[in-house]
Amino acid sequence: MRLATVRTAAGTRCVRVDADVAVETGHVDVGELLATPDWRGVAEAADGARHHLAGLDHAPVVPRPGKIVCVGLNYANHIREMGRELPEFPTLFAKYPEALVGAYDDVVLPAASDAVDWEAELAVVIGTTVRHADEATAGAAIAGYAVLNDVTARDWQYRTAQWLQGKTFEATTPFGPELVTPDEAGSGLDLSCAVDGETVQAANTADLVFSPAATIAYVSTILTLKPGDVLALGTPGGVGHARKPPRYLTPGAELTTAIAGLGECRNTCVAEKRT
């Protein structure tokens, strides 16, 4: 099953995306649906207003997650090519909902940064409250997967040893277009990022050091994860900051982030307009 949050004249709406039409579920967004008991059954039975797929205006698939927990250094080949040992524990940092944009919205390049970089990532959305979970329980708590790009201001990220300030600039993080449930998504997914049509990242999620279930289990030891919470599982090699010379996003650049079976985010980069 595929779910999305779309913008309509009446506000945002959660829809089930079928082969030829999107059907409203009766919820304002996917986050509200996931907070509903038996959300899968509710979504499957939904028979609300219908929308043509070609006209959908996608908001972030979960517009305001309670938590966005991100993992750094999580692709084995990327870690090895950097000459590092594989980590024993996940490197975690946070992101805030104000950073999120829809799958086809503009990405705003912060005026304060001269070094904005791309990071294609697999996002995991929680569907069941989970705390102190083993990996089996953690895996069962996954509502689905989506595409995310953790667009990062490198000059701000490395101002200190803490990464947060470079990771959550407003309107920088495409997230969508749909939540795809695990039964449909499968595993071992090809992930890529392109800038102006040139592929700059390509990997497979089988190379993750910490799998979705392992990451959820680890984070659930720290705090309760709730329906609609999001985990971003890190990026593979090919980021612009590691190139010689470094390469960064500029106004007008077209950023495409794709994961096989999940869809793609296509975003135009624009300069921030200060008011």
Q: For 130-142, how does the pLDDT look when each residue is reduced to its tens digit (9 = 90+)?
A: 999 999 999 999 9
Cα 112 from Cα 172, distance rounded (Å): 13
- How sure is the predictor about 274, in pLDDT bands with cuts at 50, 70 and 90? confident
Q: Are residues 182 and 111 in the same domain?
A: yes
Q: Are residues 128 and 73 in the same domain?
A: yes
For residue 206, give the CATH number of its domain: 3.90.850.10
Q: Are residues 124 and 15 in the same domain?
A: no
What are 153's two structure tokens? 């201001």
Q: Are residues 47 and 72 in the same domain?
A: no
> What is the DSSP secondary-structure string of 223-271?
S-B-TT-EEE----S--GGGSSS-----TT-EEEEEETTTEEEEEEEEE
Q: Are residues 83 and 208 in the same domain?
A: yes
Whole-prediction pTM value? 0.97
Q: Quote the Cα angle for 91-94-100, to 5°.
A: 130
What are 273's two structure tokens? 């307009």
For residue 140, what pLDDT is reported? 98
Question: Which residues, listed in sequence order, are joined to residue 7 by a DSSP beta bridge?
Answer: 12
Q: Are residues 30 and 114 in the same domain?
A: no
Instruction: Give burial (CB, 10 Å; 0-12/13-18/19+) of 127.
Output: buried
Q: Are residues 17 and 73 in the same domain?
A: no
* Number of domains observed in the structure of the chain: 2
Q: Are residues 68 and 49 in the same domain?
A: no
Q: Are residues 163 and 47 in the same domain?
A: no
Q: Are residues 36 and 127 in the same domain?
A: no
Write out pLDDT tens, residues 22-40.
999 999 999 999 999 999 9
Q: Are residues 68 and 47 in the same domain?
A: no
> What is the DSSP secondary-structure string of the chain?
-EEEEEEETTEEEEEEE-SS-EEE-SSSSHHHHHTSTTHHHHHHH----EE-GGG--BPPSSSS-S-EEEEES-BHHHHHHTT-PPPSS-EEEEE-GGGEE-TTSPEEEPTT-S-EE--EEEEEEE-S-BSS--HHHHHHTEEEEEEEE--EEHHHHTTSS--HHHH--TT-EEEEEEEE-HHHH-SS-EEEEEETTEEEEEEEGGGBSS-HHHHHHHHHHHS-B-TT-EEE----S--GGGSSS-----TT-EEEEEETTTEEEEEEEEE----
Write out pLDDT tens, residues 157-211.
999 999 999 999 999 999 999 999 999 999 999 999 999 999 999 999 999 999 9
Cα 238 from Cα 219, distance rounded (Å): 27
Domain end call among 10, 42, 57: 57
Domain end call among 39, 57, 75: 57
What are 1's two structure tokens? 């099953």
- Report which of 265, 273, 227 is spatially closest to residue 101, judged by C-alpha positions: 265
Residues 17 and 44 sit within 8 Å (Cβ to Cβ): no
For residue 84, what pLDDT is reported? 83
Q: Are residues 11 and 138 in the same domain?
A: no
Domain end call among 42, 57, 72: 57
* Domain enclosing residue 42, as ranges: 1-57
- How sure is the predictor about 235, in pLDDT bands with cuts at 50, 70 and 90? very high
